[in-house]
A and B are shown apart, each in its own frame.
Chain A
């Protein structure tokens, strides 16, 4: 006799007694995100744009760049409409990607302090308290994804609109994405049956709902409970992420490329919509040329890898990439062959086959001072309303281009620049 029948005979409670728990959505599976994607590449420390996208030759009185010794204006290379410095790996990069790139030069970061510079560059204002562009994007596009916003160590202020996730070594990531899988020396098996795990999570969510219902909870506890409540039912989504992680042999060993790879894989799995990639080594106060070259090469390498990998993983068409830095470097060398901080910098915005690409907007003079830009023409023609660009102008335009609302984080700029209008500039 089967036990189930026996139990019925003895009058035990029904074997199919319903669980008194809230059904949780994850039990129904996971729906991958298929919308817009954003990556910011943060070149921390202050990159030398005069050796990159805003090339500067030497003046009669000052050597701005050693690589420019003996060069004239006509010698400066150009990829499509985009001039670039013949330094590091710039040639390959600009020649290959100019059709997908908008360069914005002459932006006054209004600071020479790293912390303020990063805040300004990535949030659009110098004062603390505004979220990064990535946080805003993730919050508006797909805040409930399991790892909606990936940050690898760069500026990550969220102003409380969303939480970011960090990924460290990939070998540990697999263990975390599938915590119930015991991949020990024997065959792979679970620690507990999935149904049991689901029941426990459901019970915990119900318990938390009871705890949260109290009127006397203080804000911190409320926020912590909300974070917990939202974090828990993501088991299926994270397992889906695990399914796209390749074998160890295909994982990038380089820290910067690994960041790009993980971001793209998150996009592919549909568990991520925005990521910050962080690169360092740009704060070249001494021995500038020898140190800035590999640093700029790391930027171009990671961008190239990002687009190639995005293409192979089928997410390149949805991707926008924004590249920037705290500020820039002086238009002269110091006593240690280094370059100190300089507030006038640049951004790159990249999108595959964008109509607004292959353009340079904004300019600096021969000594890398920002020129005021006419919002009507996007030229430094001194027209009415011309102002020096600040990060808030770029952020305003990016928000429009990416379809983001200000959402309580408005800027005080009086001029709007339509950088993404291909007919201007």
Chain B
């Protein structure tokens, strides 16, 4: 057992804050030097005199930063700045400037001090500005010491600061320029990588615990660069190229392309024509069109998916390794008592009692797992401010959690567990003296017979969502630090683990004097983390509010019952830890003194922190871009370090800018509107980058490695795309026995194989295609392509989803073609049709029996042709043939195996050519274009099913690639499919379309040459299985022209193409 030398009382947060900031503030004074008086009197703004009275001596007359940070680059909003000033400034007397004073000063800073000019002016003086001193000492003293050292570095890099263990220790305060310059000089000399290291660390690279202090385009950064070059003299490298040039020469996707990609991602469909029209107006109308996509079930699924990719709460649903909600949990009497009752009933012989309860339990677990995701979706869909993810005073319930939580929400269908509505948790009790729990029989479980009433759960959005408290639990020794880390990471864009290196010094590791409170090697992180851990004081390891026995707190007995425990009655938190509170970005620490609703107070502090808005950008970024934001590179000697730092910097700038707009309201919209944020991301270069106009060097290739088009669709996105284009998802069924009845193979069965996550062991998506993933896509296409073609061709041509240009008789040879029902029996009847020809020359008349099968019996229908006549456009007769003479003029009757199709018959006194399968083909020379009249005298045998034999009559070209009408139609169809399936707008004469058409023709001809039956399932090598709930008749599968089989293979081609799987 470790020994702790514990402190006798709580450590007030304010004391720690004072220690951290006392040195920073020690130089502040209210006496204004002459130059400040001059600067003050030059402005009429009411905030000016107040600023100069309270702020300028530390923050500089121009807000440029002196011993305190710069203000002329603040990212705070007016409200945020006012609040900050009112509550905390000036440090020497925080009551000195509140309310109107604070708001005037804030307005003065934002309106008169905030930098508006582009700071990227390099080192040159433009238009008569300041001239930089040329000697090193003066340069450092005038430009580096105030703007960089005192304003930035020395705040942490001093002998008492949080960077005290580094090799760069500066002096904070006045008149330290000479000393600090020497420190820099020595540091520069002792490390060959110092030049690059300093410049990268201030930009957030190199695992800088202080994160980003300067941006590459900042004037202060340029000055620092100059200073280091003066130190390094001839050995120093040249100026860095900032990331501002990252998108030079890059072309973006146009409005139509952008809308298509956006629609497939957020709406799981293609845009409608009206949406395309709207998008192509201007940028604002494109924005409107994109935002218009954000509704409906598929958008809801997008929000759920994107949220879960971050929160991973789905790990708690189903039969995974993580379990949530214990049936014997007496804190939730509805749960434990129903469990008890079901056990009683089971023992009494009710065979369905336990399964009914398990159904409820599973429904509750499902609800728990989904609730945080549903909350996010609810807020976004209803365009509520995103801050509500932390401040929501409700949760989302389904019919089952509605029961356990006593939420009293009404649902139309108690069995539809996928419907969620806002509700409150009124289902938990405290296990105190008012509660009686009977534990009489282990096999029955406990039951609650009396209790003191259900608590008013102090909802604080996701902070105390029950599932998340369980997904990210605590332990007796962890003391909510894991929860603190998670929430900092998700909602403040701050990774505590990476903020400073953990000590591995043996002495530090062996320190048992409460090192997280006393040892600087530990406090560097724990001063930030532990107050937030304390804000979770009311929640035990399983997420119960004041879950300890007695109902007074959530502290573990390993602390409260310890010999020499510090615990005292009434305590909620550990006395040997920092008190609950929050350290905002400006390092202003504030205690949270409220006890019952600590997390609700924390939520307010967090949303006021500018990092909250940034975290929202970070949260949603991967869902749009399919890659997380780049992390700051750590190892300066890596060959791709500079390239990665550039992209990190550029992305960070985007995040900060987007976050500012998001918090204020994007383009005049409501603040914290996620839909508007998503639109801006989609409009950005990051999403729309399409091509480059010149070759890239290695660094730029690395920097641009993960932006723009070419993102692999996730399994869910691909499933929706397939559904949108074909009308069905792979293996889709509605299974009401499942919690989520809608099931498809890609989204459910093969999701992990296609790069998806399981929210537990696999938590990052694959973004590049592997052979296994390729095979999943292939499996989908192989199984779906033929049935999709069959189903579409059974629809009327105007109702088809895909094949709108062609029918099953349109071959590469077809000049014109008609289909007629031979609905006359026993009596030869004239069927006259017009066929229009636009190319003269050698042709074939072709007559096909299209539906030989009937009642499932192959070849049971018959057509009898006893005469045919062909008249030219000038009405002259070109052909007149009697049935028995049909072949003597060079014609042929062919079945699929090359044998003769049918033969001469004499029935009812009529001599005719009768055939039950195959076709008749008669060569003919057509010397003029125009309308030909083809009359066939025929009769058939309509079977008991009432369906007459169908005869198609066509005039075909002799060979393909002769610009036949069929070729034009097929190419037009392929062009459509290139556009809808692959997002490619091709010209009819393009090489790519030509290549696809050649594939079509060769595929068709291969089948033609292969002596294959006129059926899509002509052998055991072919299967065309109808989807669930659909039956294909033999007629559906009949393929007299081998066109259905050909289109099936083309469907396979399109569904596995690179551009189908990527957008």
Residues of A in contact with B (beta carbons under 8 Å apart):
1-7, 10-13, 15, 17, 19-21, 108-113, 115-116, 125-129, 146-147, 152-153, 163-168, 172-173, 175-177, 179-180, 182, 184, 187, 189-197, 199-200, 203-204, 206-208, 210-211, 214-225, 227-228, 230-232, 234-235, 237-238, 278, 280, 285-286, 332-336, 338, 340, 342-343, 367, 369, 408, 412
Contacts and interface: CB of A to CB of B under 8 A. Distances in A.
Contact of A163 (B768, B782, B996, B1062): B768
A2 B898 contact: yes
B1052 interface: yes
Contacts of A193: 1019, 1021-1022
Interface stretch (B334-342, B415-423, B474-482): B474-482
Nearest to B894: A3
A221 B709 contact: yes
Interface in B808-839: none
B906 interface: no
A164 B995 CA distance: 33
A163 B779 contact: no
A223 B707 CA distance: 11
A3 B899 CA distance: 8
A230 B285 CA distance: 40
Interface in B70-127: none
B958 A11 contact: yes
Contact of A228 (B1, B1049, B1061): B1061
B709 A218 contact: yes
B840 interface: no
B771 A218 contact: no
A189 B506 contact: no
Nearest to B1023: A182
B762 interface: yes
A168 B858 CA distance: 44
Interface centre among B1, B702, B752, B778 (most CB of A within 10 A): B778
Interface string B991-1024: 1100110110011011001010000000111110
Contact of A4 (B638, B696, B898): B898
Contact of B775 (A1, A2, A235, A338): A235
A342 B510 CA distance: 10
Nearest to B896: A3
Q: 3 closest A-B pairs (Cβ-Cβ)?
A: A221-B710, A179-B779, A127-B634
B477 A190 contact: no
B443 interface: no
A15 B1009 contact: yes
A219 B705 contact: yes
B323 interface: no
Contacts of B504: 108-112, 343
Nearest to A164: B770
27 contacts: A1-B898, A3-B894, A3-B1011, A4-B898, A4-B1011, A13-B959, A20-B1002, A116-B502, A126-B634, A153-B761, A165-B773, A166-B753, A176-B750, A180-B778, A192-B1021, A200-B1056, A203-B999, A204-B1058, A219-B702, A221-B708, A222-B710, A224-B712, A224-B768, A224-B769, A231-B770, A231-B773, A285-B478
Interface in B474-495: 475-478
B562 interface: yes
B1061 A179 contact: no
A294 to B, nearest CB: 14
Contacts of B562: 335
B476 A336 contact: yes
A222 B786 CA distance: 31
B381 to A, nearest CB: 30
A373 B250 CA distance: 54
A222 B782 CA distance: 27
Contacts of A210: 991-992, 995
Nearest to A232: B774
Given A127-B207, A217-B691, A234-B774, A191 B1005 contact: no
Given A168-B753, A335-B558, 8 more contacts: A2-B1011, A3-B1009, A127-B635, A128-B634, A147-B772, A208-B1058, A218-B692, A333-B2
B475 A225 contact: no
A10 B956 CA distance: 13
Interface string B862-901: 0000000000000000000000000000001010011010
A203 B1002 CA distance: 11
Contact of B995 (A1, A206, A369): A206
Interface string B794-814: 000000000000000000000
Contacts of B706: 220
B1041 to A, nearest CB: 14
Contacts of B959: 11-13
Contacts of A125: 635
B776 interface: yes
Contacts of B476: 285-286, 335-336, 338
A127 B695 CA distance: 31
B475 to A, nearest CB: 5
B1003 A285 contact: no
B260 to A, nearest CB: 16
Contacts of A333: 1-2
B704 A187 contact: no
A216 B475 CA distance: 54
Given A179-B779, A206-B995, A336-B477, A369 B769 contact: no
A190 B770 CA distance: 23
Contacts of B1057: 204, 207
A220 B704 contact: yes
A112 B502 contact: yes
A10 B1020 CA distance: 31
Contacts of A182: 783, 1023, 1025
B475 A338 contact: yes
Contact of A218 (B510, B634, B708): B708
A373 to B, nearest CB: 16
Contacts of B1002: 17, 19-20, 199
A11 to B, nearest CB: 6
A189 B1018 CA distance: 12
Contact of B2 (A2, A224, A335, A342): A335
Interface in B239-261: 250-251
B421 to A, nearest CB: 34
B772 A165 contact: yes
Contacts of A220: 704-711
Given A189-B1020, A231-B774, A235-B775, A207 B1009 contact: no
A180 B711 contact: no
B1009 A223 contact: no
Contacts of A127: 207, 633-635, 638
A69 B510 CA distance: 22
Contacts of B766: 163, 166
Contacts of A20: 995, 998, 1002
B923 to A, nearest CB: 7
B1053 A203 contact: yes
Contacts of A15: 1005, 1009
Nearest to A117: B502
Contacts of B12: none
B983 interface: no
B1051 to A, nearest CB: 10
Interface centre among B506, B695, B712, B892 (most CB of A within 10 A): B506
Nearest to B250: A218
A195 to B, nearest CB: 8
B712 A234 contact: no
Contacts of B772: 146-147, 165-167, 176, 238
Contacts of A172: 749-750, 753
Nearest to B695: A215
Nearest to A208: B1058
Contacts of A203: 995, 999, 1053
A398 to B, nearest CB: 20
Contacts of B775: 176-177, 179, 234-235, 238
A234 B772 CA distance: 9
Interface string B741-763: 00000000110110000100110
